[in-house]
Amino acid sequence: MRLQLAKGARSLAVVLAVVLAVVLAIVLALPSAATADGRAATWLEVYDDDDGLNVISSQVSVRGEALDGVELSASHEVDVISAATADVISAASPRGYEENRHGLSFGAQWEIEEGTILSARFLPSWEVDYRSQAAVLGFSREWVDRRLTTSITGRLSLDEVGRSGSDEHAFKDVNTVALGLRLGWIASRYTLLQANYEPQRSKGYLSDPYRFVDILWANGNAVSADEVVPDKRIRHAMAVSVRHAFTEEWFLAGNYRFYFDSWGMTSHTGEVELQHATGWDDIVLGLSARAYRQSAADFQKSTYETMTDTLPQYRTSDKMLAESWSVLGGPRAEYSFGELAFLKDLRLAMKFEVYKQRFKGIATIKRRFAKTAALGASSEF
């Protein structure tokens, strides 16, 4: 039954995405929609690190005004992943693995009245050992002469996790509910302020079915046991940001995010980005940097020991639950071709980033260094 439902859900998602894309193309091509705004975009990103992980991500999206005040959107993204990381080699496969991830998104946005917007999205995604179906509802409203914006977003995600090649009945459920609250304030013609808060609750199988943990017995022998983490996790994230224009050519944006959860983890993230609109109206240059630091989960240990025949209740070797810090940064640029044929505003964007991370209490890996390069294009039509 679950196999039939899963296949049916994926088929329905594909059909709906195709139908929506066709509807968008037809509606935007109608003479009555000649003045409607539409935009299409594509993006390609390549990630490579010294821990044996390589990811090629591609995305294509389209959005447009179907009716007066109603905008439809659709997107498809694909991640091609190959991994021979220390985690994978020690736990899952001596040769690593390769897999594809697919994600779809289609939704609608309705401007009920000027400054009041209702939106909805459906986001199915799948890979060989993980499937997700999420629904997002949002409502936003502008106040005080449109200087103040408040919004609330609700998200429900119903996921299934298992092993590649395992029976469908062996897959286990993970359900997540999240709420997003945002406050935006235009302080002046040069400054924009924002504040966000997002609580989230996940329940179900939150362990990694491929990960195993070495346990040291009292007699000195070691045994390898499967990972076990709590089946419930409550997260809280709060962020504040500011964007300021010093002149017509120079812009500075900053963001700080604080996170904590029921597993005892806390993290701090600081980001800054500087943008410069050059003397040429069609070129924008940017430079961004991010610093991140997190504490370990309460039950995460570098070594697990037991004086009895009973295994620790919770155990993990997940480096992402260990104490760590990271820095990331790099340049980016955008070039506008302007109007070209039937395209109103053709833009080309590119970026390059380097990433360095340090882990504490993880035997298989102490650090990670990565490079990311991306190229994208978008246009109105």
Residue 22 pLDDT > 80: no
**Burial class of 31 by CB neighbour count within 10 A (0 to 12, 13 to 18, 19+):** exposed
Residue 67 pLDDT > 90: no
User: Which range among 204-213, 247-256, 338-347 shows the weakest confidence by mean pLDDT?
Assistant: 338-347
Q: Which residue has the higher pLDDT, 307 or 226?
A: 226
Give me the percent of the chain exceeding a pLDDT of 70: 86
pLDDT in tens, 90-120: 444 445 568 899 999 999 999 999 999 999 9
Distance between CA atoms of residues 228 and 225, nearest Å? 9
Average pLDDT over residues 3-13: 43
Half-sphere exposure of 358 (CA within 13 A, CB side): 6
* Beta bridge partner(s), residue 57: 45, 79
pLDDT band at 5 (very low <50, low <70, confident <90, very high): very low
* Beta bridge partner(s), residue 99: 81
Average pLDDT over residues 310-332: 94
* Beta bridge partner(s), residue 49: 370
Closest-CA residue to 86 (of 370, 366, 371, 372):
366
Task: Bin 9: left if φ > 0, else alpha if -120 < ψ < 50, else beta.
Answer: alpha
CA 355 to chain centre: 17
Residue 32 pLDDT > 60: no
Domain boundaries, the chain: 106-380
Residue 63 pLDDT > 50: yes
| Average pLDDT along the chain | 87
Average pLDDT over residues 346-375: 94
214's tokens: 């070495």
Give the per-residue pLDDT at 87. 53
312's tokens: 């620790």
Q: Which residue has the higher pLDDT, 363 or 111?
A: 111
Give the per-residue pLDDT at 61. 93
pLDDT band at 84 (very low <50, low <70, confident <90, very high): low
Residue 34 pLDDT > 50: no
**For residue 315, what is the DSSP state?**
B
CATH architecture, domain 106-380: Beta Barrel (2.40)
pTM: 0.86
pLDDT band at 350 (very low <50, low <70, confident <90, very high): very high
pLDDT band at 86 (very low <50, low <70, confident <90, very high): very low
Residue 215 pLDDT > 80: yes
pLDDT in tens, 148-195: 999 999 999 999 999 887 777 889 999 999 999 999 999 999 999 999
pLDDT band at 302 (very low <50, low <70, confident <90, very high): confident
Task: Bin 34: left if φ > 0, else alpha if -120 < ψ < 50, else beta.
Answer: alpha
Closest-CA residue to 117 (of 107, 126, 132, 127):
107
Instruction: Collect all residues with Cβ–Cβ distance below 8 Å to 188 and sequence separation of at least 6.
Output: none
